[in-house]
Chain A
Amino acid sequence: MQTHDWKIIVEEHGPLVWQTAQRLLANHADAADCFQETFLTALEVSRRQHVRNLPGLLVRLATTRAIDRLRQKGRQDRHQASAYDREPRIAGGVDPLDRLEAQDLADQLRDAIGRLPPQEAKVFCLRHLSQMSYRQIARELQVGIDAVGVSLHRAKARLREALSAMNVENEVSHEEKQRRSG
């Protein structure tokens, strides 16, 4: 069992874990829970085995926890929660309409990630949100590099399909609203 000063670890790697959780969840309370669970799980893992790459482990655990929460919220009432629990973000100088569209697009991607199979969602997030290489992802998830590539390819295909379906739904509902109002 390794001995770590977890206070220093939390202060040093806390921003990385927080950004990973907040980017995927966009909710303060969920991100805080994910943050704490990540470090507690890392403590448990460090008791069981030797940890060589602590930042990688923390990012993987935070991504896994965040995806679990996304899937859990998706099963409950994702749309309602995302509409009312969205964190206010200050972006000065940006058109509010553009900012709203950007947030909607990001929410749609979060929903789509929450609907992916867990392994594909983890691979996609580690690759495209945490900027990890194929080799790092394979080492963290304990799978082959080929499996990482296959999972990433499938995840992208599913995400494209889901996003296009959401866009079509949005356009249809928008036209329906315009027809009713006009």
Chain B
Amino acid sequence: MKKNKDVLAEALAQLRNAGLPQQPPQAVVDETIRRLGDARSTGVDPAPAGAGSHRRITLGTTIIPWSAAVAALIALGYAIGRLSQPAPLDMEELREALTPSLAASIEPAIRTRLIEDMRQRYQVALAATYVKVKEELTEQYRDDLNRFAIQTLAASNATTNRLLTELVESIDTMQTQDLREVARALHQIELNRVQDKTQLVAGLQRLASRTEDELSRTRRDFAQLLVNYQPEDSGPEPRPLPNLTERNQP
């Protein structure tokens, strides 16, 4: 029940706070004033069916005796006229005499009435056309806005996709270039390593060869030393050991 009450209150609030125009359109106001003026001037019941039925019934019941009285008066006047009428007139002569004056007196009134009638009809047609044109323009404006929004969105999507594609391609290019640089550096490091290894092997071999030569020479020197060494009783006085310069000589 609480939820239903809230729904009703919320709906009422939406209905009250709907963005309604404060003023009626001027065309509607003008048309209403014109119809009110017509209704007041003609005295015809302007209300739709059902609103003035009581008035019509009242008029119908009061008109009947008045109609009878008027008919009796007309009949009485006709009888008096017949009894007291002068000699018959020449109708052609009378018509010819009255036509110019009648035409002169009626024509301006007819013209004015016709102009007024035409003006009212034009106003009604213009009011209807104004509302219709306004609605059509509103609809067209809305369609144009929607179309423009769709086109803008499509163009924005296309531009975004193109920029993303370019970004991805540039990233790929940079990655490929970096990989090539790394591969080239690794290759250079490998070459240096092989060269260093070769030089190291050659140096070690040379060192080993020289060490072997020195070792052979030292062994020969020791053998010569042992050969040259004799005790005091058994042999001559031993010779002194050769110095380093002498040892190095072949």
Chain A residues with CB under 8 A of B117: none
Stretch at the interface among A71-79, A101-109, A115-123, A132-140: A101-109
Contact A129 B40 (CB under 8 A): no
B47 contacts partner chain A, Cβ-Cβ < 8 Å: yes
* Given A44-B52, A108-B11: A36 and B35 interface contact (C-beta under 8 Å): yes
- Classify the secondary structure of A's interface with B: helix
* Residue of chain A at shortest CB distance from B15: A106
Query: Which A residues touch B36, using CB under 8 A?
Result: 6-7, 10, 39-40, 43
A contact residues around B7 at 8 Å (CB): 105, 160, 163-164, 167
What is the minimal beta-carbon distance from B145 to any residue of chain A, in angstroms? 11
On whether the beta carbons of B12 and A7 are closer than 8 Å, the reply is: no
Which of chain B's residues have a CB closer than 8 A to the CB of A17?
24
Q: Does B29 contact A (CB under 8 A)?
A: yes
Please indicate which of the listed interface residues A15, A17, A26, A91 has the most CB atoms of chain B within 10 Å of its own CB.
A15
Complex alpha-carbon distance, A110 and B131, angstroms: 24
In contact, B40 and A163 (Cβ under 8 angstroms): no
Contact across chains for B25 and A105 when beta carbons are under 8 A apart: no
Contact A40 B47 (CB under 8 A): yes
Instruction: Assess whether A128 is in contact with B20, with CB atoms less than 8 Å apart.
Output: no
B33 touching A89, Cβ below 8 Å: no
Q: Mark A18-38, 1 if CB is under 8 A from B, else 0.
A: 110011001011001001110
Is B4's CB within 8 Å of the partner chain A? yes
- Counting chain B residues whose Cβ lies within 8 A of the other chain, the interface size class is 35 or more
Asked whether A163 and B8 contact (CB < 8 A) given A23-B18, A109-B14, the answer is: yes
Are the C-beta atoms of B5 and A14 separated by less than 8 Å? Answer: no
Q: How far is the CB of A154 from chain B (nearest CB, A)?
A: 13
B19–A90 touching, CB < 8 Å:
yes
A102 CA / B142 CA spacing, docked (Å): 21
Interface of B is mostly: helix
Which among A22, A23, A32 has the highest number of chain B CB atoms within 10 Å? A32
- Given known contacts A109-B12, A109-B14, is B22 in contact with A15 (CB within 8 Å)? yes
- Residue in A7, A18, A48, A129 whose CB lies within 8 Å of B24: A18
Cα A44 to Cα B33 in complex, Å, equals 14
Q: How far is the CA of A43 from the CA of B24 in the complex (A)?
A: 19
| Chain B residues, Cβ within 8 Å of A32 | 24-25, 28, 31, 131
Interface string of A151-169 (1 = CB under 8 A from B): 0000010011101100100
A88 within 8 A of B: yes
- Does B16 touch A at the CB level, under 8 Å? yes
